[in-house]
């Protein structure tokens, strides 16, 4: 069939063109195919990166294009790394990252484990559980501000219902010690289903006959979980951590909508901090240096992590 | 080691009947081979004995105890799966140690190591003990899977086509080894195969399954020499038994519709003429494909036969089997 097609194409090609095409080597054709992609990557990825590194060593400000641009060397980097505000926002980011990943992985895996059992209506449950992640982060942030509202919010009412604490006595968003947890809570509410889906894929990839063998080998359910389920689902779990980690390192929309980085700077994640430097204070050179530092951090962490992931997969 | 008994066991999956009223006694220390084509219910029978599936009706007794409602772990059975079912992230050694490390057993470390080493030696996988289970060939995985069963001393070994993906030489080796193990330990084996050589060489008893029903149970020689039906006769014998119209060679007993002749039931050099169509030299035997009154039949002949295609040879039935129209044996 395909031979036939090739024949037809060959005979339909004009002889002069055919001669010219025949003269082109496989290597040349391969280059012809990849060149557009390489050019595109250079234009939208590599060039901006190099440009950012260049800008990071200047005092350039985008809102004052006529000011003379001075080369300042590593001065921007020194300022950023010695600024306690930077470290505070890095700390807030770390708190957010670690708490959300731990919570989402534990909850997501547990949900996946439960939903993977055969019971009536588990398809319906799966659909219901994944609903939050289909919403827009801006919408989620917006309606959670209502839920967290001390006087009329359902969240505070619910806490009162459970513990009897006066709902007007605390404000999740307004309190310095509670605010970092509000964003963790909402992100977990929204993205646990995603982790669950990945874990579910992992659990479903384990052939049932392995559990049957373990049954015959008299392994308890507990031992089956630790020697079969967890090790075999681990690569999927780690993948979920990677996805959530990358996503949450650049978390912006949800938090801006929810707390706007406040109160004070308690929920000012690095991405929000960076956006203020770059597009509110217009310190372009300074912000570029900041971006480079974050890029190196994420890139470094991700490479280490991917190495570990591959090791686990090869086991 | 123990006796296994199935009593009126039936099992269906939806509308599909897998087993129908099967009663079977696997005596203590016997090697029972279940024969039958794909879909005959062999694997289902093993799974019901192991407790992985529960029968719709009937009961399984191991060592005289009813197994109704007991999970596999409480039946003390070792099973070799057709699809190997190794623990992929563990090494060969860890796979084989796995059943011994059950907290129920509390086997001492040295004992585990000795046992694993011994079984690995028999199965010729000693050099692979530290490989990952996923880094093995199909034949090696199958041997690890057998090894994982052999390290145990269960009530009964259940094996589902354990030698199917091995090469001919290894298969012959392991046939002997498995038979030795069974004889030395006095172990009870329930073994599924469709390789008749395995059935003939290893079995103390053969059970023939046909669409979920046990149609014959006996020693391999009984099944071979006294088959109850065309179906049972067809399970054993290479070349296959010849089934022809009953009156082809002359008068047949009343009610007979078919005559069945194994190669040794065809006497050569006497009787009526038949045409040699082809002579096949297989090395250990030579097969003769004959045409007799528009019917084809196959028999064996001396390896150094001068016969060639186109020759005429006289043949005559010698104590043949007769079957009725439904395939049941009458003589």
Q: Are residues A181 and A245 both part of a single domain?
A: yes
pLDDT, one tens digit per residue, over A235-286 is 999 999 999 998 998 888 888 888 888 787 888 888 998 998 889 889 888 9
Per cent of chain A over pLDDT 90 is 43
CA distance to partner chain A, nearest, from residue B4 (Å): 16
Q: What whole-number distance in Å separates Cα of residue A96 and Cα of residue A104?
A: 12
* Residue B157 touches partner A, C-beta closer than 8 Å: no
CA distance to partner chain A, nearest, from residue B45 (Å): 15
CATH numbers and ranges of domains, chain B: 4-235 (3.40.50.300), 250-323 (2.40.50.140)
> Is the backbone peptide bond immediately before A263 cis, with ω within 30 degrees of 0?
yes
Question: Which position has the higher pLDDT, A170 or A225?
Answer: A225
Q: Are residues A155 and A208 both part of a single domain?
A: yes
**Burial degree of A149 (CB within 10 A; 0-12, 13-18, 19+):** middle
pLDDT, one tens digit per residue, over B86-121 is 998 899 999 999 998 877 667 788 889 999 999 999
Report pLDDT for A122. Answer: 82
Report pLDDT for A315. Answer: 67
* Residue B98 touches partner A, C-beta closer than 8 Å: yes
Report pLDDT for B116. Answer: 93
Sheet holding B57-62, edge to edge: B16-26, B4-13, B57-62, B65-66
**A127 domain-assigned:** yes
Q: Are residues A171 and A296 both part of a single domain?
A: yes
Q: Are residues A253 and A164 both part of a single domain?
A: yes
pLDDT, one tens digit per residue, over B165-223 is 888 888 888 898 889 888 888 889 999 988 888 888 899 999 999 999 999 999 999 99
Report pLDDT for A158. Answer: 86
Please report the ipTM that was assigned to this predicted complex. Answer: 0.83
Count how many Cα atoms sit within 13 Å of the Cα of residue B31 in the half-sphere of its side chain. 20
Phi, psi of B27 (to 5 degrees): -65, 150
Q: Which residues pair with A236 in a beta bridge?
A: none
Question: Which position has the higher pLDDT, A44 or B305?
Answer: A44
* Residue A232 touches partner B, C-beta closer than 8 Å: yes
* Residue B77 touches partner A, C-beta closer than 8 Å: yes
Report pLDDT for A2. Answer: 56
**A39 domain-assigned:** yes
Report pLDDT for B308. Answer: 86
- DSSP code of residue A43: I
- DSSP code of residue A45: I
* Residue A9 touches partner B, C-beta closer than 8 Å: no
Are the CB atoms for B274 and B291 separated by under 8 Å?
A: yes
Q: Is B58 left (phi over 0), alpha (psi -120 to 50) or beta?
A: left
**A254 domain-assigned:** yes
Q: Are residues A160 and A29 both part of a single domain?
A: no
String of b and e for A272-284 (b: at least 16 CB within 10 Å)? bbbeebbeeeebb
* Residue A226 touches partner B, C-beta closer than 8 Å: no
Q: Are residues A229 and A296 both part of a single domain?
A: yes
Q: What whole-number distance in Å separates Cα of residue B198 and Cα of residue B164?
A: 10
CA distance to partner chain B, nearest, from residue A110 (Å): 22
* Torsion sign, CA atoms A112, A116, A119, A125: positive
**A122 domain-assigned:** yes
A1 pLDDT exceeds 70?
no
- DSSP code of residue B246: G
Question: Where do we find the tokens 């069945």?
Answer: B260
pLDDT, one tens digit per residue, over B117-130 is 999 998 889 999 99
CB contact under 8 A, A218 and B77: no
For position A146, which CATH number holds? 1.10.3720.10
* Among B73, B106, B112, the residue to mutate for chain A (most A Cβ within 10 A): B73
Which chain B positions have a beta carbon within 8 Å of A212's beta carbon?
52, 72, 79, 81, 85
Could you tell me whether strands B156-160 and B77-80 are parallel, antiparallel, or unpaired per DSSP bridges? Answer: parallel
**A69 domain-assigned:** no
**A68 domain-assigned:** no
B307 pLDDT exceeds 90?
no
Q: What whole-number distance in Å separates Cα of residue A202 and Cα of residue A231?
A: 10
- DSSP code of residue B33: E
pTM of the model: 0.79
Phi, psi of B276 (to 5 degrees): -80, 120
Q: Are residues A281 and A167 both part of a single domain?
A: yes
Report pLDDT for A212. Answer: 93
Who contacts A113 (Cβ-Cβ below 8 Å, separation ≥6)? A199, A203, A229
Q: What whole-number distance in Å separates Cα of residue B237 and Cα of residue B242?
A: 10
Q: Are residues A13 and A99 both part of a single domain?
A: no
CB contact under 8 A, A209 and B73: no
* Residue B107 touches partner A, C-beta closer than 8 Å: no
Residues making up chain A, counted from first to last = 315
A7 pLDDT exceeds 60?
yes
What average pLDDT score do residues B131-154 get?
A: 89
Report pLDDT for B105. Answer: 67
B322 pLDDT exceeds 70?
yes
Distances in Å between the alpha carbon of A70 and those of A66, A67, B17, B133, B305? Answer: 12, 9, 86, 62, 104
Nearest CA in chain A to B103: A219
Q: Which domain holds residue A51?
A: 2-55
**A199 domain-assigned:** yes
CA distance to partner chain A, nearest, from residue B99 (Å): 5
pLDDT tier, B58 (very low <50, low <70, confident <90, very high otherwise): very high
Q: How many domains does chain A have?
A: 2
Who contacts A195 (Cβ-Cβ below 8 Å, separation ≥6)? A104, A105, A107, A108, A109, A112, A240, A244
Q: Are residues A268 and A169 both part of a single domain?
A: yes
B284 pLDDT exceeds 90?
no
How many inter-chain contacts (A to B, CB under 8 Å) are there?
63
Q: Are residues A83 and A179 both part of a single domain?
A: yes
**Burial degree of B221 (CB within 10 A; 0-12, 13-18, 19+):** exposed
Highest mean pLDDT among A1-10, A61-70, B311-320: B311-320
* Residue A50 touches partner B, C-beta closer than 8 Å: no
Count how many Cα atoms sit within 13 Å of the Cα of residue A27 in the half-sphere of its side chain. 0
Q: What is the largest CA-CA distance in chain A?
A: 88
Report pLDDT for B104. Answer: 67
What average pLDDT score do residues B262-286 get?
A: 89
Domain boundary among A26, A55, A84: A55
Q: Are residues A109 and A179 both part of a single domain?
A: yes
Question: Which position has the higher pLDDT, B60 or A14?
Answer: B60
Report pLDDT for A60. Answer: 86
B298 pLDDT exceeds 60?
yes
**A151 domain-assigned:** yes
Could you tell me whether strands B65-66 and B16-26 are parallel, antiparallel, or unpaired per DSSP bridges? Answer: unpaired
Q: Are residues A85 and A36 both part of a single domain?
A: no
CB contact under 8 A, B52 and A215: yes
Q: What whole-number distance in Å separates Cα of residue B206 and Cα of residue B201?
A: 11
Are the CB atoms for A69 and A60 separated by under 8 Å?
A: yes
pLDDT tier, A10 (very low <50, low <70, confident <90, very high otherwise): low
pLDDT, one tens digit per residue, over A110-168 is 999 999 887 888 888 888 999 999 999 889 988 898 898 888 888 888 888 888 888 77
Distances in Å between the alpha carbon of A60 and those of A63, A295, B164? Answer: 9, 20, 74
Report pLDDT for B304. Answer: 82
What average pLDDT score do residues B257-268 get?
A: 92
Nearest CA in chain B to A211: B85
pLDDT tier, B269 (very low <50, low <70, confident <90, very high otherwise): confident
What average pLDDT score do residues B285-303 get?
A: 90
Are the CB atoms for B105 and A237 separated by under 8 Å?
A: no
Element (H, E) at A231: helix A230-249
Q: What whole-number distance in Å separates Cα of residue A205 and Cα of residue A118?
A: 15
């Amino acid at each position: 069939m395909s031979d036939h097609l090739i024949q037809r194409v060959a005979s339909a090609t004009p002889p002069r063109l055919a001669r010219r095409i025949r003269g082109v080597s496989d290597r040349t054709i391969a280059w012809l195919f990849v060149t557009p992609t390489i050019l595109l990557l250079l234009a939208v990825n590599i060039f901006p990166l190099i440009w950012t590194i260049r800008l990071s060593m200047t005092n350039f400000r985008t809102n004052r294009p006529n000011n003379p641009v001075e080369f300042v060397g590593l001065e921007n980097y020194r300022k950023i790394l010695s600024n306690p505000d930077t470290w505070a926002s890095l700390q807030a980011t770390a708190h957010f990252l670690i708490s959300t990943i731990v919570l989402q992985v534990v909850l997501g895996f547990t949900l996946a484990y439960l939903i993977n059992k055969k019971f009536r209506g588990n398809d319906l449950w799966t659909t219901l559980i994944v609903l939050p992640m289909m919403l827009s982060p801006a919408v989620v942030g917006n309606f959670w501000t209502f839920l967290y509202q001390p006087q009329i919010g359902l969240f505070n009412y619910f806490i009162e219902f459970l513990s009897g604490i006066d709902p007007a006595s605390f404000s999740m968003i307004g309190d310095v010690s509670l605010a970092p947890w509000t964003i963790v809570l909402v992100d977990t509410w929204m993205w646990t289903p995603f982790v669950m889906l990945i874990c579910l894929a992992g659990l479903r990839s384990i052939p049932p006959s392995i559990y049957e063998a373990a049954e015959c080998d008299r392994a308890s359910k507990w031992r089956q979980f630790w020697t079969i389920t967890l090790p075999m689902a681990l690569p999927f779990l780690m993948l979920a951590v990677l996805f959530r980690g990358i996503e949450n390192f650049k978390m912006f929309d949800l938090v801006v909508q929810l707390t706007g980085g406040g109160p004070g700077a308690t929920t000012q994640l690095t991405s929000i901090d960076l956006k203020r430097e770059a597009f509110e204070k217009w310190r372009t050179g300074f912000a570029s240096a900041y971006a480079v530092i974050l890029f190196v951090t994420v890139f470094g962490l991700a490479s280490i992590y991917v190495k570990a992931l591959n090791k686990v997969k090869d086991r | 080691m123990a006796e296994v008994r199935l009593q009126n066991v039936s099992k269906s999956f939806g509308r599909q009947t897998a087993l129908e009223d099967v009663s079977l006694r696997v005596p203590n220390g016997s090697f029972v081979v279940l024969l039958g084509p794909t879909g005959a219910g062999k694997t289902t029978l093993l799974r019901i004995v192991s407790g992985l599936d529960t029968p719709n009706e009937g009961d399984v007794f191991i060592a005289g105890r009813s197994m109704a409602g007991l999970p596999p772990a409480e039946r003390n059975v070792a099973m070799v799966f057709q699809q190997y079912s190794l623990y992929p992230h563990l090494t060969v050694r860890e796979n084989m140690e796995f059943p011994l490390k059950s907290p129920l057993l509390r086997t001492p470390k040295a004992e585990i190591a000795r046992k694993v080493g011994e079984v690995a030696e028999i199965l010729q996988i000693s050099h692979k003990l530290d490989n990952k289970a996923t880094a093995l060939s199909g034949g090696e995985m199958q041997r690890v899977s057998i090894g994982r069963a052999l390290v145990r001393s269960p009530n009964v070994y259940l094996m589902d086509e354990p030698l199917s993906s091995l090469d001919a030489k290894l298969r012959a080796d392991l046939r002997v080894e498995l038979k030795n193990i069974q004889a030395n330990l006095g172990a009870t084996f329930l073994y599924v195969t469709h390789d008749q050589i395995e059935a003939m060489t290893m079995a103390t008893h053969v059970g023939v399954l046909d669409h979920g029903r046990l149609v014959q149970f006996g020693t391999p020689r009984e099944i071979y020499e006294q088959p109850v039906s065309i179906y049972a006769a067809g399970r054993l014998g290479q070349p296959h038994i010849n089934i022809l119209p009953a009156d082809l060679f002359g008068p047949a007993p009343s009610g007979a519709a078919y005559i069945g002749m194994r190669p040794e039931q065809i006497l050569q050099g006497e009787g009526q003429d038949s045409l040699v169509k082809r002579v096949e030299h297989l090395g250990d035997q030579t097969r003769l494909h004959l045409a007799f009154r528009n019917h084809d039949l196959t028999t064996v002949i001396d390896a150094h036969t001068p016969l060639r295609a186109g020759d005429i040879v006289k043949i005559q039935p010698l104590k043949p089997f007769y079957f009725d129209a439904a395939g049941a044996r009458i003589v």
